[in-house]
Chain A
Amino acid sequence: MFHDEDNSVPEKKDYVKLKIEIRDALKDASFRKVLTQILLDLQKDVAGDTRKKLNELYRQLDLHHDAYKKLNDWRWYVVSQGIIELTQMQVVDSFNFITKFINDRRGIIRKQAEIATVSLKPEGISYFLDTTKFSISEWQQLKLMEVLRVMEHFRPPSFKTWLVSGNRDVVLFALRLIRHYNQNDAAASIIELVKHKNERIKLEAILCIKEFCLITALDTLKAVFPKTGQATKIEILDTIATLGNEEDLEFLKKVEQSSSSFLVKNKAQMAINDIAPETFIPSKGILSQKELEASELAQEQHEHFITEEIGKIAAESKTTAIAPESVPEMNQELEVLSVEEPIQEQEDIEVFQIDLDTIEVDEDPEPKTPFENEEKNEPSFEIGVLDKALDSSINAQIGLLNNVEADVDMLPHEDLPEAAHYFDLSPEERLTFIALLEESATEKEIGLLEEVMQKEEDSEIRYRLFNILRAIQNKESGSENIETETTAIDSVFHSLFEYASDLDSKLILLREISEVGDEKEFPLLELLENDANPMVRQQAKKSKEALIERLYEVNSPKVTTDNTAVEEVSENFEEPIVDQETDPSENRLPLELCFLEEIGIGVERKSEPEIAFELTEEFYEEQEKRISLGE
């Protein structure tokens, strides 16, 4: 098979010798049969030039004559086998022998002949469509299209020629070929075929109309609509949705109103919405206006009630502690109230706790379970659906109320007294309070938070308070995710730390962080607090404390406790604080006051620049005396 004329003489001799041997062997019918089968199998595994050579070898060995003989056999499967061999080996000369089977009454022979006709010559498809008298099954159309798809150098003829064929399967196949090869020059015929009695032809014509955007067909589509099957109706509506305009809305609305089929009605609605968006808006599971109003009213009452109840709690808790045994009872009552009358009956103190949770539920509804209807998944006031974590927060709060007389004052609310009561708490209670704030603090608590943060000495708590404040501020500015999005990678030190070659370098970097870093470095430091190396862990902890110290030290009550300082704290949360000592100009006196240094009044280097020095009354008095004495 791979013999070449340029081969050496011995190779040529071997080739001739082999050829003679094969010729001798070919006299044996069974050898020919085996060889044919081997070549047919091999042909499936090769491509390109090799396949061409293989086909040529098949002909050179005269094996195609055996296939020709098969064509004359009386058994259908032998004839079919012959046709398949000739087709597979591309014996073009057999075209005329095979085409005579194209209208054979035996189905399988006919089908093989059809494929052979289309496959052997590029003009085979035209011949087939011209001459076939039998119907073409869907399977056969599918295979013929596949043959055309893989055929080399195939230039599709203009298939509109066969749209007028008397064989409706030919028409159908031609329509499919037109669509497949994008032959959009047969608009009139295609539009006419929409009126065909055969549903498949009608459907295929509609698909062509949609594919080629034949807007002129819309009137015809509307005209045939009532007399078509459901599948065709849906396709027509889809086509109108794609090609139609506002003039078609009337038709679509009529279909939508009159159709008894859900699918057709649904498709009509979709088509209307495609042309005129949002004509049909969702209606299922939507609350009515009355329900909405009731819901708003309930919400208002709910908020008002919270305010009142907090006031009561604050007042009562100063004098009366809540008995621990009353808590379960309240819980029971709470459950009943919340199920039956979630708003009107909120007179019990426990309802307050429900309210907190209800707010949580509204913000973050329980994940839907597959076994609940959509209605069941809607946010509910039932305590049963509350998250366990929220339950535990309720319990924590109850515990706080039970144990600490004045703890109710700590509940985040603008009416609460200033942070005075906070500092009466024990360290554990403070932590519980902070945890509660972390869960439920809102913008109303900003003042309280700021005040506590100024006075709190524990840097860890200050840092947590800072985070709470930041979260509230982010929420306010609509960027709730900023906190969660800030990661260790955001720190400029992260990459430096990654590339630090040894432990010393890492420790130096950590120290640098405490001196020049800002709050972006916290996630990195927290990450490094869990580092495998104990020295890194230790330094990270130290640096974090130092950084907190440095960032918030300026606002410390030791420096100042007036309102100006609180404002500065607030400003500093929004923008990272610049290290005061990094700008030496801020430590200098203005030129006109430089003389003060000569008389022993200097800048207080480590204090705030704006209030860095102070002149006492005695100084002025002394100055006046000096002037009066003429010094």
Chain B
Amino acid sequence: MEVSIPNIWLEYIDVIFMTFSVMLFIMFTFMGYFSTRNSLHYKNKNSFVDLSKIMASPLAPGITIIAPAYNEGLNIVENVRSLLSLKYVNYEVMVVNDGSKDETMQKLIEAYDLEMVAYPIDPNIKSKPIRGIYKSRQLSYSKLVVVDKENGGKSDALNAGIQLSQNQFVGCIDVDCLLLPDSLLHVVKALFQRSKKRVVAVGGVVRVANSCRISGGTLEEIRLPKNWLARFQLLEYTRSFILGRMAWGRIDSLLIISGAFGFFDREIALAVGGYDTNTVGEDMEIIFKIRRYMHERREPYTIEYIPDPLCWTEVPETVDILLNQRDRWARGNLETLYKHKDMFFNSRFGRLGLISYPYWFFYEWLAPLLEFFGFFTIILFWYLGIINWDFFFALTATVYMFSIMFSFYAILWDVTTYNNYNKSKDILTLMGCAIIEPFVFHPLVVCAAVRGNMTKLFRKKVGWGVQVRRGLASAS
């Protein structure tokens, strides 16, 4: 090949893609290793624990579960009933009605016999105005607090809940999520188990509840989703939660806690100003803020991760809703990374600045864009006639095999540790999904990520979008 500027440019592209791919392999290999160690450690450690003993302990800390609800009239009563039946003594469920336009509030009032109560509200509370705070007249629902406020988005509703809570810890969840009865016991253990470091936040695995048999707010039978899109997402969640976050948790560099299941030390959450209401990636952004805050205070801290399947949620079953969701995630990523750009390769923030942030930048935000760009590069190379087809197919096959292997490994660990899907057919179906996922599901995710970035970069004003839920109560 003759030496010319386009050729040099093409050489650089080769190097960039090669380096990127090799680094990706190395990172994923390490991730597999750390997650395995962490899983084994967790399993061994928790084989001695009897969580039920602490249920009635006088030292059990107070926890407020904050569940923002916006137009959740379909299932709100059942969802709250499920939250009220958790196995723990010292907790309250705070449902924040974020100015719903449907009958969410009315249904709550009727179902739980609510009445407006006098509740100390800080006049300087940083959220949209609060219309009223309701509690039940019935003793059996004494753990329930309903905050009715004007619409301000999920972050605003969570902020209102954090500020109104008077407990030491707050849990921020999606109201349509299903928590297993002993969830809070696991959370308390995670929050309290460290003696040298302060546990500022706890995150957990979110599992896919589509097609599961749910009755009376209780998960009765775990089933593989019938919808193929949901199956692909199940595989993706397994990879992400069982391998990805477990590995980051092992090296104490977790940068995201799912908005569906996250618990915080209330004092710290308030100190960092709660959730950012100007981003759609608020669950990631608050972790960045907390880590920054603790680093700056030079206080020993950690963010714990619970791999037990405690939280179950419904995932999108149609392409449109899935694309909207991933679009939003991509925008959230970009907004958060941009807001905390000073952390990029900044040794002042330790592992956070040198490993977590760069990884997130290159492999969570940039990767889909590079994949998209790479696709067109291949066409360009083919057009220019400079593509080495043997090398291309060999490299593509390697990447493909690696991706399948990584997915199989995630399935293996899922079966080894928690074994949610105990039918051989289910496991084989999941493996089948892993084989076809790069051709069917992955392009959708890449497209949504590109769309999200374009939307954000061209400053198009977009909110959360709409997610139509079938409702867990009817999922069965």
Contacts and interface: CB of A to CB of B under 8 A. Distances in A.
Interface of A: 76-77, 80-81, 84, 107-108, 112, 134-143, 145-146, 169, 176, 180, 231, 262-263, 266, 368, 370-374
B264 interface: no
Interface in B287-340: none
A373 B131 contact: yes
A371 B45 contact: no
Nearest to A75: B44
B60 A370 contact: no
B391 to A, nearest CB: 47
A141 B45 CA distance: 17
21 contacts: A76-B44, A77-B44, A77-B45, A81-B48, A84-B48, A107-B195, A137-B192, A137-B195, A138-B192, A145-B58, A180-B58, A231-B267, A262-B122, A263-B120, A266-B120, A370-B116, A370-B131, A371-B148, A373-B132, A374-B116, A374-B132
Contacts of B131: 370-373
Interface of B: 44-45, 47-48, 53-54, 57-61, 105-106, 109, 116, 120, 122-124, 131-132, 134, 148, 188-189, 192-196, 267
Q: Which 7 A-B pairs have the closest CB atoms?
A: A139-B192, A262-B122, A137-B195, A138-B192, A135-B195, A77-B44, A139-B193
B53 A80 contact: no
Contacts of A145: 57-59
Nearest to B125: A262
B192 A142 contact: yes
A176 B59 CA distance: 9
Contacts of B105: 370-371
A107 B195 CA distance: 10
Contact of A370 (B54, B132, B189): B132
A262 B120 contact: yes
Nearest to A115: B48
Nearest to A169: B195
Given A262-B123, A371-B105, A373-B131, A146 B57 contact: yes
Nearest to A112: B48
A80 B48 CA distance: 8
Nearest to A139: B192
Given A108-B45, A370-B109, A138 B122 contact: no
A325 to B, nearest CB: 40
A138 B44 contact: no
A138 B123 contact: no
Contacts of A176: 59
A142 B116 contact: no
Contacts of B54: 139, 142-143, 146
A135 B59 contact: no
A263 B120 CA distance: 8
A378 B198 CA distance: 48
A590 B109 CA distance: 72
Given A77-B44, A370-B109, A146 B193 contact: no
Most buried by B among A77, A84, A138: A138
Nearest to B100: A371
A370 B188 CA distance: 34
Contacts of B122: 262-263
B298 to A, nearest CB: 17
Contacts of A112: 48
Contacts of A140: 195
B195 A368 contact: no
Contacts of B196: 135
Contact of A134 (B60, B188, B195): B195
Contacts of B188: 139
A231 B165 CA distance: 13
B185 to A, nearest CB: 11
A252 to B, nearest CB: 16
A552 B459 CA distance: 85
Given A262-B123, A263-B122, A370 B53 contact: no
A137 B134 CA distance: 36
A139 B148 CA distance: 35
A375 B308 CA distance: 48
A374 B61 CA distance: 34
Nearest to A377: B116
A597 B248 CA distance: 118
A235 B134 CA distance: 25
A266 B132 CA distance: 18
Nearest to A107: B195
Given A169-B195, A370-B109, A371-B131, A143 B58 contact: no
A130 B322 CA distance: 59
Contact of B60 (A76, A84, A107, A142): A142
Given A77-B45, A262-B123, A266-B120, A146 B132 contact: no
B63 to A, nearest CB: 13
A371 to B, nearest CB: 7
Contacts of A146: 53-54, 57
A265 to B, nearest CB: 9
A133 to B, nearest CB: 12
B77 to A, nearest CB: 15
Given A134-B195, A266-B120, A373-B131, 18 more contacts: A81-B48, A107-B195, A135-B195, A135-B196, A137-B192, A138-B59, A138-B61, A138-B192, A140-B195, A145-B57, A145-B58, A146-B57, A180-B58, A370-B106, A370-B131, A370-B134, A371-B105, A374-B132
